[in-house]
Amino acid sequence: MIEKISLQNFGRFERDEFTTAKVTVFYGPNESGKTTLQHALLDALCSLDKRKELGRRIHTRYGAQRRATVSPEKPFGEFDAETLENLFFVDSGKLYLSFDGTTEWLDAVKSSLFAGGIDPRLIAEDLEGEASTRRNKSHMKSYQRDMEQREAKLLELEQLKAQHRDALTEQTQLLKDRERLAVLDDTRGRLMQEISDLELLLEAQESYRRRDELEELDHAIQEKARLERDLESLTHLAEDAEPQLQATEARILKARNELSAVEARRKLLQQQCIDAEQLLDKRHKQSEDLLPHRQTAAELRQTLDTRNPRIRTRHERRWSSSWLIAAGSFLFAGLLAGALGLLGRVPGIPTDALQVPAALGWGMAAVSGVAALALLFLKARTYVSIEDRSELDNAAAEIRKALPQELLQAGEHTEYEALRDRLHAIEAQAAQAEEAAQEAEQNLRNTKAALSAAEAEYQQMNERMIGAEADRNTLLSTLGVRDSAEYSRLRERYRAGVESLSLLKTKLEEAAKKHSIQDIPRLESYCAREIRHIDEQLKRERLTQDEQRIKRNLHDGNRKRLDELEQERELLMGRSEREHGKLSDRLTRLPREVLRLEKEIAGLDSVLQAAELRRKGAAKAAEIFFGIAEDTGNLLLELAAGISADYHHIVGPRDALQLQEFGLERATVPDRSGAARLPEQLSEGTRDAFMLAARLALAVRSRPEAAVFVLDEPFTAFDPERTRNALLLLAQKQDEHPYQYLFFTKDPLLLDLLKEVFPELQLHELEPILGEPE
Amino acid sequence: MPSFLHIADLHLSRSSQDYSFCVLTEFCSYVIEHRPELVLIAGDIFDEFADAEALRVPFREHIASLPAETRVLAIPGNHDILRMGSRKLDVLDFGIGEFPLHHFQLLHGADLEVLAVPFGASPPSPEDLPPPADGVNRVALVHGTLTGLGLAGPEQAEADDAALDPLAYEKLGVSYIAAGHIHKPFLSQGSPCVYAYPGSARVWRRGEEGPRGFYHVRTNRPGNYDIERVELRASGQYRRVVVTLNADGSLPELHGKDMLVEAADLLELVLTGLVPDDAALERIARDLRNTLGREVRELALNTDDVFVLSGAASHPLARGFLEAWKLRYEQAETEQEREVLVKARELGLRKLKSRIEARS
């Protein structure tokens, strides 16, 4: 409680002191210093901030020399000037508190009532912000970033693990490569051994071939020697007796041929003789056969020539058939015509029509008849010549009777001539036969002569031949051969031998040149040596051509395999070298990187967990603060109740007022009629009553411990009853709280009431100072 | 058929000598009791090279206490050679039967082959290594991170050397990869190869939740492994407890099943809430260190989510918020809901703090 207020140089108060009690009244007219005293009180109780409006105002108005103190010094502790001025200074003019808008002091008052000066809702909202998972929040942004980083690192980890697995697979592969290389080396060794073996085998075949060649040469040499020996024995055949021998042989042959020819001729002639003889016989016979007939024929012929039979001709009249027919025809025609003429006489047929035809018919009939008769008499009988061959036939018959049929062979019609000719022929024939017989005889004689000539020749030839044979035999024995065949053979052998020998020699000389050997004897020893040499060296068996072919294929096959093998080996070795070093690096490096990443991820995990815990904690704390704020809301209701009570105290029983929000902005106050009204809608007196109640309620809750109220004409709008009620309310408050009241008034009525309600008040009467501006 | 133990990441260190050697002792007791044919230690035996030098003798004594018929096979891990400089492990004798240091080695047992690859060495390539004989199991002993299994965590600062390729080992005929380096136990019994991380044998740092242990592997037939996980008690556990300060910035009562701790545990308390000032926070920390801190092997206080706000207790909104929050937290049913609510509290308080401070 303030006990004393002292002022120096404060406005009109140069040096003044006022004692104060629980209730102090400053009674005086206008301009008696009431306002100054209030300012002094503010100045003394609060530390006025010169920067703020109030402080500036007071400083400007009263100057730096002013001094205002209270005793004791800070009776209420720290008192905020604005709170003091606005809440605890109850001034009718300023009784109305606008709860709308935000005034700092009012906010401070409101929140200090319930939360020690801090609005829990604000803290709760702050914490809610920190608990929020909305993306635009900075802590969520960094949370998101960390999450993304974690995801990225997890991905990276997976990739690294995959790389590591790959590296391990590669390592296994490299090991397999190594094993394979070992196998390949093994195979390679084996293959090379086999190839070498085969090559040796094939080389051996070459040696065999060479040996064969040399052996051939050797044989050739042996052959040469043999031939030479052989030929030696035949040297006597060197000189060629062949032509001689051939000549004799030719002679023999010629003689023989001639002999044969003669022989043949002889035989032929013999045969011819025989034939001629036969012919002669035959011809003789023929001639003899014909002889009698020849005579007959001659006689006949003479006879007939004399007689001279010939053909006789006679003429006869004969009917000619052709003219007969013609006549017949005319007759017939005439008959027909007659018929036609008769037609006219038949009953029933019109005679007119038939007049002409009938006439015609009669005419024709007449004509035809005449013609027929003419022909008949004139032409029908003609003269015909007839041959008479009877003479001839008789002659013919005579001949035939005289001579055999076979000689005659005559035809039918001209038999006689033919027969006559035949007579000539028979004569001729007989003459011919005779001639022929004579000819045959001559022929026989010739042939016989020829035959004997041939016989003579034959003898000659034979002798010649024998001579030639004898020559030959002599020659043969000279040559020492049995026969010329043998000589031929020998000769052939010699010749062949010479030929072979010369071939051999050529061959051997060539071979000698090839082997750079001077002569053939040396060649022989060379061959022998070489063959021995080869025989010593030969360690492999001999193969046939087919076997060689197989072995060569095998060799080629092996070579190919070896090449492939080498390729694979090179590939593997290259790979192994290339990869091994890098792989070791990777296998060392990758686990380390994996570990590093795992650590980073673990780090991020703990950061994320901490952030989440933080958010949850913030949410929980916000919850608690919201709870507190809500409780504050409850307290608000309590406030409303309190204000209501005070209000009712002043204005009498009414409905309770309603406080909608913590801030009194929407406080609704019931007026006398009971309608709920906003404060500004109330009548001045009612409003002032509410405001007073509100102020008191706020003030009481704001500083439940000691405070001071400065009331400057507070109840101008009140009627006396309300004024009394208000004063009684204030007195009641003073019973509950150690409040100090300082009244400033000029109203005597109020003074009386004050004296009535507060019997122990301290009164100061103030005098106005003329001429002093307030 | 042989059985073998597979353990890794002991991280024996001078700074936790008693603790780490307690674990080793428990392990050795198990070996003595069960007498497996083989013990495989998959690297990171020591926390750094200097520890290897300094603790060589006690380690050797432990190994010497094992039965003679049990062969011990180990490989160095990245920690064993940490800050080695120019010195060498070669000159130090750890009493381990087979301890290849630079190159892979194939070690033959009865029906078991072990392909041991020290950290930093490369495994053989398939052509250099014949496949295992019929009926013989081939086990790989390696140290690093098997890739492709999502084992890498952001908190590990790996050298590249740590990357192990499981597929490469499969190609080498390996049917069980006995790995070390990852401190969280992992077992994948796929075919053809088992991937196994026993996890760190002792709690090495915050975050290694769950009991510590190793694998006891019995092979009944080739390629078939019967794997039993054996827990180590002496190593305790890492436990993480979230403690929400009261509305007035005071420490609530710590009790209930959340607070079942053991002497060997590494306990991380995560404090969240408002305190009126730094001094209050200091007081709370001091209290905790004096109480809980004495019950466990190590207490780690995490105060990242504690806000200093003067007048916090009296601020009506702050109070209102914390009270409303508390109601919801008590109704939460799942771990997830609680985690979200804790976060909500932090964020709400942050906002309040910034607004309150802006006002004044």
User: Each residue of A20-38: pLDDT tens digit?
Assistant: 888 999 998 887 788 888 8
Answer whether B345 sits within 8 Å of A621, measured CB to CB: yes
Q: Average the pLDDT over each of A330-334, A504-508, A653-657, B16-20 and give the range with the smallest value.
A: A653-657
How far out from the chain centre does Cα A1 lie? 107
Residues of A in contact with B321 (CB under 8 A): 120, 624-625, 628
Residues of A in contact with B168 (CB under 8 A): 168, 587, 591
* More confident site: B139 or A117: B139
Do B278 and B205 lie in one domain? The reply is: no
Do B77 and B225 lie in one domain? The reply is: yes
Residue A351 has pLDDT above 70, yes or no: no
Average pLDDT over residues A157-172: 91
Residues of A in contact with B328 (CB under 8 A): 620, 624
Tell me the three-class secondary structure of B215-247, residue by residue.
EEEEEEECCEEEEEEEEECCCCCEEEEEEECCC
In sequence order, the 6+-apart residues with CB closer than 8 A to the CB of A542 are A204, A205, A208
Out of B160, B345, B356, closest to residue A592 by CB: B160
pLDDT at site A145: 93
Q: How confident is the model at residue A1 (pLDDT cuts 50, 70, 90)?
A: confident
Answer whether B153 sits within 8 Å of A596, measured CB to CB: no
Residues of A in contact with B342 (CB under 8 A): 617
Residues of B in contact with A175 (CB under 8 A): 126-127
Average pLDDT over residues B161-181: 90
Q: How confident is the model at residue A658 (pLDDT cuts 50, 70, 90)?
A: low
Do B204 and B249 lie in one domain? The reply is: no
Q: Nearest-CA distance from A3 to chain B in Å?
A: 28
List the 178-237 stretch of B: residues with Cβ below 8 A of A: none
Three-class secondary structure of residue A4 per DSSP: strand
Out of A122, A178, A599, closest to residue B158 by CB: A599
Do B129 and B12 lie in one domain? The reply is: yes
Do B246 and B210 lie in one domain? The reply is: no
Find the closest chain A residue to B147 by CA distance.
Answer: A595
Find the closest chain B residue to A625 by CA distance.
Answer: B321
> Tokens standing for A677?
């009204």
Contact status, residue B270 vs residue B240, Cβ threshold 8 Å: yes
Find the closest chain A residue to B347 by CA distance.
Answer: A618
Do B113 and B39 lie in one domain? The reply is: yes
* More confident site: B47 or A294: B47
Q: How confident is the model at residue A773 (pLDDT cuts 50, 70, 90)?
A: low
Do B211 and B259 lie in one domain? The reply is: no
Average pLDDT over residues B72-96: 87
A384 phi and psi angles, rounded to 5 deg:
-120, 140
> Among B215, B219, B218, B217, which residue's Cα sits nearest to residue B201?
B215
* More confident site: A24 or B319: A24
Q: How confident is the model at residue A116 (pLDDT cuts 50, 70, 90)?
A: low
Out of B127, B316, B339, closest to residue A115 by CB: B316
C-alpha span between A587 and A647 (Å, rounded): 88
Answer whether B352 sits within 8 Å of A118, measured CB to CB: yes
What CATH number has the domain bearing residue B177?
Answer: 3.60.21.10
Among B187, B217, B232, residue at a domain's last position = B232
Residue A456 has pLDDT above 60, yes or no: yes
Do B110 and B44 lie in one domain? The reply is: yes
Mean model confidence pLDDT for chain A: 82
Burial A467-492 (b: 16+ CB within 10 A, else e): ebbebbeebbeebebeebeebbebbe
Residues of B in contact with A624 (CB under 8 A): 321, 324-325, 328, 344, 348
User: What domains are there in chain A, each with its CATH number?
Assistant: 4-99+667-765 (3.40.50.300), 138-212+540-622 (1.10.287), 234-308+401-480 (1.10.287.620), 312-388 (no CATH)
Q: Edge-to-edge, what's the strand order for the sheet holding B38-41?
A: B71-74, B38-41, B3-7, B212-221, B224-232
Answer whether B347 sits within 8 Å of A617, measured CB to CB: yes
* More confident site: A345 or A328: A328
Burial A409-437 (b: 16+ CB within 10 A, else e): ebeeeebbebbbebbebbbebbeebbebb
Three-class secondary structure of residue A525 per DSSP: helix
Average pLDDT over residues A231-241: 73
Residue A565 has pLDDT above 70, yes or no: yes
Find the closest chain B residue to A172 by CA distance.
Answer: B126
Question: Domain range spanning residue B15?
Answer: 3-232
Do B178 and B287 lie in one domain? The reply is: no
C-alpha span between B319 and B325 (Å, rounded): 10
Q: Nearest-CA distance from A116 to chain B in Å?
A: 5
> Tokens standing for A85?
């001025």
Neighbours of A760 (CB within 10 A): 8
Q: Average the pLDDT over each of A219-233, A419-433, A647-661 and give the range with the smallest value.
A: A647-661
Out of A116, A618, A627, closest to residue B324 by CB: A627
Out of A118, A175, A625, closest to residue B126 by CB: A175
> B195: which strand partners?
B177, B188
Do B353 and B335 lie in one domain? The reply is: yes
pLDDT in tens, B209-266: 899 999 999 987 777 889 999 999 999 999 998 888 887 778 888 776 567 788 889 9
Average pLDDT over residues A187-213: 91
Q: Which of A346-350, A440-444, A537-541, B133-137 has the highest mean pLDDT?
A: A440-444
Do B283 and B154 lie in one domain? The reply is: no
Among B232, B253, B282, residue at a domain's last position = B232
B328–chain A Cβ distance below 8 A for any pair: yes
pLDDT at site A413: 47
* More confident site: A244 or A240: A244
C-alpha span between A528 and A218 (Å, rounded): 7
In sequence order, the 6+-apart residues with CB closer than 8 A to the CB of A49 are A55, A81
Residue A461 has pLDDT above 80, yes or no: yes
Among B216, B232, B248, residue at a domain's last position = B232
Residue A186 has pLDDT above 90, yes or no: yes
* More confident site: A732 or A150: A150
**Number of structural domains, chain B?**
2
Answer whether A620 sits within 8 Å of B163, measured CB to CB: no
Do B87 and B115 lie in one domain? The reply is: yes
Q: How many CB pairs under 8 A join A and B?
A: 132
